[in-house]
Structure 1
């Protein structure tokens, strides 16, 4: 089969979870003998950060300036440093004025008008491309991708959309503001789908009523490690580590909560440190908060690493206080490497992977989070037991099993499409 994996932008030069999964799909299908391409419309030059099978084509439809209006991101500084506050305040005014000029130049007055303008521009390239390729299956890597490729109208090819979070996060305003126009457009795009993949059975309940295709539960693959590759939780150490892996975006990942909980226990456990692996726009703010909490020389920001498993092996507890997740790839890898974990009971994805009091703890509030963290930091035997359980639990998410489910699914979708047409 000819399979097109589409991520409308953000694939090139990016090391995020969506890009990792797009690469996994491409390599898996290519190795099974399919003709596979990853297709994007990225307004940059670059390559895949994750290794691609030699037979996989990487196609960028972007051909230079396309009349899209690309606004500068507005950053709201949340720290208390007066000099930083002034600097970010000035930059915010400059960026807002710049954005206003860009919109005025194209006669665009509102964000809804901006959305339609950009969709009209960016959606033009897709119909002729698909007609030339004649794919057997299109796999959309996000609902925003689906919206763009179907904006000119329904396609003659079966489309599967992959969902990386709880489905209602993609089309509602439950997490952040979306205009009624945006939500209506997104919900309508589901009607063009032949199939949709969700990560957990519980997520099926959150699909919109505009979707009438075949839903399949297929989890993300989690890297598997042999016993000799696991974290050495039984070793006595001069210093022990709590570790967090994720983008430094405090609104979603809530690294500030991790620091506050650690600060409540720092004097009781003077030989423990908190390690952050990752980059993001809130790095400065989090560093300032770390200093304000008296955590100098106890909290370390190590930035991005291509081999997070090496950092995870040095750690003793994985701390993951996200507000929301889809699956939690970093959490899954930490569990596979044998770390006990602590997260929030209200967090989607996290509350599916962590088995409370078996592979880690799920806290209902900050006080519980501190209490459970205290238990893990105090008891090496508990860490070893939970880490062992975590390692065994995620063996069910082996990539071979996931690849087999996906192979079955694309054949099911292809067969159904042919019967209907």
Structure 2
């Protein structure tokens, strides 16, 4: 009998959590599972990531009405609408991503008899959720059937801060090859043949510290005149980064083309990948770049890169985080050594097996199977 999964996410924009949600949902429906993807906070709109037409997509705003008004009344309407949906679908498991959605989903399912699995998508200390949601997280998470995190350090934080929490460590699955969707932009539209590409991918926001990346590249640009830097993504710091590029005199060498749906083409074209984030959960883009045969350079932030990169073998970890001189030195080592960079690139593709969709789905299946079995026992005792 096909499993039924009710999957709650806050939105389906271009973020990392949304990308993983799309990947998992697509993989599960191809296995024959029934998946309902519930967008809980954003209004109806197009999904940035391609979704199978076998997935039932539901916007909570359609069930609640206007989200424009704030206050407890609207919040309660959301909770009751989600609770009605859970009871209507009668899923084997309710899965939720991100703290605010996790708390709401646990509250909505409270006493319904349906098990909730919640997942933190980033290392909690590095992305404060505010006092209110932190208290709610501590109070509600013990009632989750399981708490899934992406790294061992994340699990340690859960154990130390959530009394009685039950959890598992499950990395993100990385499909290879990546799906292609709009908007598409061919690398050759920006890069001439023979130019070498240093690539970064991510939201143009404080977390990603692309300002550090620009400063490092500015130091190296004259020495490596055949290299260009491209940063794919969109975000609130576009204006500041464009101003920095102009101030550094790099307008012809650095490009910010925005988000693209054919990012796999860019990974394949890249000669080296750089991640300058100050913190991460489990960075999809880093693994995707490696799966396409890129050596990588990344700051060694608390969680994520060190769970992926085998330092000195398929990439370089840079310390301390935020140190531009250290990042410049690491980039210099690989930009200036074609043979070493190519050796690392050959090792990097091992992530295709280490984080394959099948291996990660097996981890999720193990969590779901235990929960479903326990629910069966509970029902048997109650009859």
* TM-score with structure 1 setting the length: 0.79
Corresponding residue of 2:169: 217
Corresponding residue of 1:201: 152
Q: Does 1:162 align with 2:164?
A: no
Q: Secondary structure at the match of 1:401?
A: helix
Q: Does 1:4 align with 2:6?
A: yes
Please report how far the alpha carbon of residue 303 of structure 1 lies from its aligned counterpart in structure 2 after TM superposition.
Answer: 1.2
Work out which of the two has the higher radius of gyration on C-alpha atoms and give 1 or 2: 1
Distance 1:211 1:414 in 2: 23
Corresponding residue of 1:81: none
* TM-score with structure 2 setting the length: 0.86
Corresponding residue of 1:97: none
Q: Secondary structure at the match of 1:207?
A: helix
Matching residue within 235, 238, 253 for 1:280: 235
Note the 1:89-108 alignment, pairs <5 A.
none
Distance 2:233 2:37 in 1: 26
Distance 1:65 1:401 in 2: 38
Q: Do the aligned partners of 1:224 and 1:395 also contact (CA within 8 Å) in 2?
A: no
Q: Do the aligned partners of 1:322 and 1:347 also contact (CA within 8 Å) in 2?
A: no
Q: Do the aligned partners of 1:35 and 1:56 also contact (CA within 8 Å) in 2?
A: yes
Q: Does 1:256 align with 2:257?
A: no
Matching residue within 124, 128, 145 for 2:101: 145
Corresponding residue of 1:312: 267
Please report how far the alpha carbon of residue 305 of structure 1 lies from its aligned counterpart in structure 2 after TM superposition.
Answer: 0.9
Q: Do the aligned partners of 2:199 and 2:273 also contact (CA within 8 Å) in 1?
A: yes
Corresponding residue of 2:184: none
Gaps of 5+ in 1: 71-105, 107-113, 232-236
Distance 1:211 1:118 in 2: 30
Q: Secondary structure at the match of 2:230?
A: strand
Q: Do the aligned partners of 1:43 and 1:64 also contact (CA within 8 Å) in 2?
A: no
Q: Secondary structure at the match of 2:121?
A: coil
Q: Do the aligned partners of 1:5 and 1:38 also contact (CA within 8 Å) in 2?
A: yes
Cα distance per residue 1:213-237 (max 9 Å; x no partner): 54222211123359xxxx9xxxxx6
Please report how far the alpha carbon of residue 55 of structure 1 lies from its aligned counterpart in structure 2 after TM superposition.
Answer: 2.9
Distance 1:363 1:392 in 2: 21
Deviates more, 1:404-413 or 1:286-295: 404-413
The two structures, once aligned, show a CA RMSD in angstroms of 2.4
Q: Does 1:246 align with 2:245?
A: no
Distance 1:42 1:207 in 2: 25
Name the count of aligned residue pairs: 359
Q: Secondary structure at the match of 1:268?
A: coil
Distance 1:219 1:378 in 2: 32
Q: Do the aligned partners of 1:23 and 1:51 also contact (CA within 8 Å) in 2?
A: yes
Cα distance per residue 1:30-78 (max 9 Å; x no partner): 23332221112355333434333333211223238756556xxxxxxxx
Q: Do the aligned partners of 1:67 and 1:121 also contact (CA within 8 Å) in 2?
A: no
Corresponding residue of 1:359: 314
Q: Do the aligned partners of 1:223 and 1:336 also contact (CA within 8 Å) in 2?
A: no
